[in-house]
Amino acid sequence: MTYVEIVKVNKTNFSDLFNLIIKLAEYEKLDPPSPDSKERLLSHLGKYYEGYLAFYENKPVGYIIFFMAYSSFLAKPTLFLEDLFVLEEYRNKGIGKKLFRFCVKKAKEKNCGRLDWTVLDWNSNAISFYKKHGAKHLKEWLYFRLTEDKIDELVGNENYCSK
């Protein structure tokens, strides 16, 4: 069995988290976070999200980030898993499983009614991983997003937003 140490992200080890986020961006073929994003991520740590690093052989090889949401129907908090990532060369060692189970434990500790996350439709390995752990794909729910520019546009439209 692989020994993995899971450590809460703080100011001291934040650079390890940020480096792994860059690796996730590469994996997903996305632009990496900007230097401004790095500063915001650090300043938001513990306020808007929690982060944990997975260390294998004293090296940071994976991480999770989650935040709290709320279910009005359950009248309970929801833990939303924003990221679960393990460096490619460290996959299939049980590290992702340990991070996921750690996240499940956090949801239980926080008395959550559910744990939610999204998966890119092309990421068949992640889809299989989550299904193996009993997760179900919610086909009836469609994921929508307003980007910051659209938020600004709508707020700037006085006919849309009442004061």
pLDDT at 19: 98
pTM of the entire predicted model: 0.91
pLDDT at 98: 97
pLDDT at 156: 87
pLDDT one-digit tens code per residue, 133-148: 999 999 999 889 899 9
Using CA atoms, how far apart are residues 27 and 123, in angstroms rounded to an integer? 10
What structural domains and CATH numbers belong to the chain? Answer: 4-137 (3.40.630.30)
Q: Reply yes or no on whether the pLDDT at 1 is more than 60.
A: no
Q: Where on the phi/psi map is residue 122: left (φ > 0), alpha (ψ -120 to 50), or beta?
A: alpha
Q: Reply yes or no on whether the pLDDT at 113 is more than 70.
A: yes
Q: What residues are labeled active site?
A: 130
Residue 89 CA to its chain's centroid (Å): 20
